[in-house]
Amino acid sequence: MAKVDITSGALSGLLGNMVLVKIGDRYYARKRPRKRTKAEKKRVSEPKKQTYSRMKQSQGFLKILTRPIAFGYQEHIDGARRPFHACLSHTQSNAFSHNGSEYVLDPSLFKISLGSLLPPQGVTVERTSEGLQFSWEDNSWISSAKPFDQAFLLLYNPEDMRVKWEVAGGYRKDKGYLWPQQNNMDTWSGHVYLAFSQVSAWDKTSTVLSDSLYLGWV
């Protein structure tokens, strides 16, 4: 049943076979998915089973990454399409490998950010007694890269559901950054990703990002 906002008069919730939602300052209508019968569930084709499997694995992998995804995919907001939708779609289409019998999500193919900015190059990372030490090439002024682009870092362990991220991890011109150990980060390992971000030269408020790079399990 739809609800009426007594201030604006806007509807939200279920209305027939439509779902009315508010995103930002706008309202959108989405068609409500039809429930499948038990017979239909039994008749699912193999391609659909693989699609459902990729969807389930993707949602599980992204479950606790909503905040870094909101930052990393902000260039892909389009009406009701949110950063998480863009990331989920990209992950399902590009982050799977086939092991001979089924599709399995491959963390090395996952992107925590996707954008038009020049990505990091010549990157290395190592764990030290003080934290994670990153190094990269200063490729400022190549394409859209600028010296004050900032590193966007992610450390993620999906098995233990642990995540640590940083949006201001050093400048491109600095050729590296020491990510200090915090919140027992020295006691657990995870997949490490690096990208660069840049405040838009057009409006000075929005941010553009590079595609992220996968740096391995550290």
Residue 144: the pLDDT is 92
pLDDT tens digits along 83-106? 999 999 999 999 999 988 899 999
Looking at every residue in the chain, the average pLDDT score rounds to: 86
Q: Are 71 and 65 in contact (CB under 8 A)?
A: no
pTM metric for this prediction:
0.81
